[in-house]
């Protein structure tokens, strides 16, 4: 059960092994949408000390499932990551690897903006609609940038698959299959977080840029920002 009632796929990324330490608890959280928050969930968000929400969703997603955080003493920053509609991925029948590669290549400036938003506003919650793909890639890059072990990053990403409610998955898949009956990648896109996909993404970033830190710096983040992020996220 989520520690924030009504929040899909919510978790703290504290306690992951990193070079020289572990990720600090209580400073970086990840989740899916906050449209289902109840009063207890709203109270839990406040109780966790979260100061900033970084919402990675597009305008249409926010309109359909607005976050229930109005009136809470926190700031929401919106940094839409997909440059096209979510629906287009099902129409084009894109694989998770293709979607993630597109995020890295086409939304690099926005990944930098996510890093800056966390640095300036931690404790922070990064979320999208399900907390799987956009959140998964963004959080993985942040963790890699501060030296978290790749196996731990991959394992944290892969946890999502077990955290999505079976009834939710069945309902979503039934609807999507009725609209896209021949899509090969539909279940992966909607419900799965396979470890090999994230492992391949991290390896690709390392091969092309050296590390996620180098990737972010190549697209505008300062080295002292990377150091600041590590100070925030890593307990030594």
Q: Where are the domains of the chain?
A: 11-226
DSSP code of 234? E
**Strand, coil or helix: what is 28?**
strand
Spatial CA neighbour of 186 closest among 128, 99, 116, 122: 99
Q: Is the dihedral of CA 155, 12, 111, 107 positive or negative?
A: positive
- Which of 9-18, 138-147, 179-188 is the least confident region? 179-188
Mean pLDDT of 212-222: 98
Burial 157-188 (b: 16+ CB within 10 A, else e): bbebeebbeeeeeeebeeebeeebeebebbeb
1-51 pLDDT tens trace: 468 999 999 999 999 999 989 999 999 999 999 999 999 999 999 999 999
3-state secondary structure of 230: helix
- Residues 6 or more apart whose Cβ sits within 8 Å of residue 172: 190, 191
Q: Are 200 and 99 in contact (CB under 8 A)?
A: no
Contact 81, 134 (CB under 8 A): yes
Considering the segment(s) 11-226 as one domain, its CATH architecture is Alpha-Beta Complex (3.90)
Closest CA to 126 of 224, 49, 27: 27
- d(C-alpha 82, C-alpha 156), whole Å: 22
Mean pLDDT value across the chain: 95
The pLDDT-based confidence of 86 (bands split at 50, 70, 90) is confident
* pLDDT average, residue stretch 49-73: 96
Query: Average pLDDT for residues 58-82, to the nearest whole number?
Result: 95
Q: How far apart are CA 198 and CA 200, in angstroms?
A: 5
């Amino acid at each position: 059960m989520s520690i924030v009632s009504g929040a899909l796929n919510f978790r703290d990324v504290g306690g992951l092994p990193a070079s020289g330490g572990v990720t600090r608890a209580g400073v970086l959280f990840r989740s899916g949408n906050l449209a289902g928050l109840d009063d207890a969930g709203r109270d839990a968000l406040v109780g966790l000390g979260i100061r900033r929400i970084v919402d990675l969703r597009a305008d249409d997603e926010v309109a359909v499932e607005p976050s229930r955080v109005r009136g809470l003493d926190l700031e929401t920053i919106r940094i839409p990551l997909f440059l096209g509609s979510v629906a287009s991925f099902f129409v084009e029948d894109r694989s998770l690897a293709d979607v993630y590669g597109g995020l890295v290549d086409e939304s690099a400036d926005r990944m930098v903006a996510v890093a800056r938003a966390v640095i300036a506003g931690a404790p922070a919650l990064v979320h999208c609609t399900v907390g799987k793909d956009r959140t998964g890639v963004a959080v993985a890059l942040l963790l890699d940038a501060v030296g978290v072990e790749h196996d731990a990053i991959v394992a944290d990403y892969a946890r999502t698959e077990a955290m999505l409610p079976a009834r939710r998955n069945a309902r979503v898949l039934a609807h999507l299959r009725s609209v896209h009956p021949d899509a090969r990648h539909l279940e992966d896109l909607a419900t799965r977080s396979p470890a090999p996909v994230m492992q391949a993404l991290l390896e690709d970033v390392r091969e092309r840029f050296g590390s996620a830190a180098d990737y972010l710096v190549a697209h505008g983040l300062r080295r002292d920002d990377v150091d600041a992020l590590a100070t925030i996220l890593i307990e030594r």
